[in-house]
Amino acid sequence: MKAPLYLSLLGLIAVTNTSFKKTATIKFATRNTYLVLVVKSNYEMVLYDSSGERIVTYPVVFGNKDLGDKMMQGDRKTPEGIFHITCKRKHEKWSAFLNIDYPTAESYQKFNERKAKGLIPPNAEIGGGIGIHGTWPHEDFAIDQYQNWTEGCISTKNMYIQEIFALLPVGTRVEIRR
């Protein structure tokens, strides 16, 4: 007679300590999960979530010290505008590389207007291969010292680029401002 009582009590305990709430669905990052804002004048890259809440700020450096908009290939300037991450890959020199879709249609428009106004040579090319990446091995100090050293890319410390690489999916919007 005691066995059925114990089994009933055990069943009651199991039922009262079990959650029947719907479990949360796991969300995977999509191209609209994050926004990257690069503010060249502040030497910072800020990551926001889809609600607009600031997640983290990373120190960054660029190419040319004047921080102007990219005019043409070889000027070592970082382009300004709205871009998207097109691919991600590990990089033998800079830890990781997140390619952005420069040049865009807007980039070509600015480039052609500048050519027409004579601001850049008629034989100039627009350039490409712009991305977000780490530093040379053991040279994270370039970020701490605000040493602009790239050919127009955005560079941050290698430990930060690993975080960014793991977090941001292809398609993430990247806005670059002066």
Q: What domains are there in the chain, each with its CATH number?
A: 24-177 (2.40.440.10)
Mean pLDDT, all residues of the chain: 87
**For residue 128, pLDDT beyond 70:** yes
Token reading at 147: 């040493």
Q: What percent of the chain has pLDDT over 70?
A: 84
Arithmetic mean of pLDDT, 6-12? 45
Task: Please name every residue paired with 85 in a beta bridge, in sequence order, or none if there are none.
Answer: 100
CB atoms within 10 A of CB 29: 15
Token reading at 35: 């926004």
Instruction: Give the integer Cα–Cα distance in Å for 69 and 175.
Output: 13
Instruction: Give the integer Cα–Cα distance in Å for 133 and 166.
Output: 13
Token reading at 171: 């398609």
pLDDT digits (tens, 9 = 90+) for 70-112: 999 999 999 999 999 999 999 888 889 999 999 999 999 999 9
**For residue 28, pLDDT beyond 90:** no
Report yes or no: 49 and 34 within 8 Å, Cβ to Cβ: yes
Q: What is the pLDDT of residue 2?
A: 54
Q: Which segment of 5-19, 39-53, 137-151 scores lowest on mean pLDDT? A: 5-19
Helix (H) or strand (E) holding 114: helix 105-116
Instruction: Give the integer Cα–Cα distance in Å for 91 and 14.
Output: 52
What lies within 8 Å, CB to CB, of 65 at 6+ separation is 148
Q: Is 139 exposed, middle or buried (0-12, 13-18, 19+ CB in 10 A)?
A: middle
pLDDT digits (tens, 9 = 90+) for 30-80: 878 999 999 999 999 999 999 999 999 999 999 999 999 999 999 999 999
What lies within 8 Å, CB to CB, of 163 at 6+ separation is 56
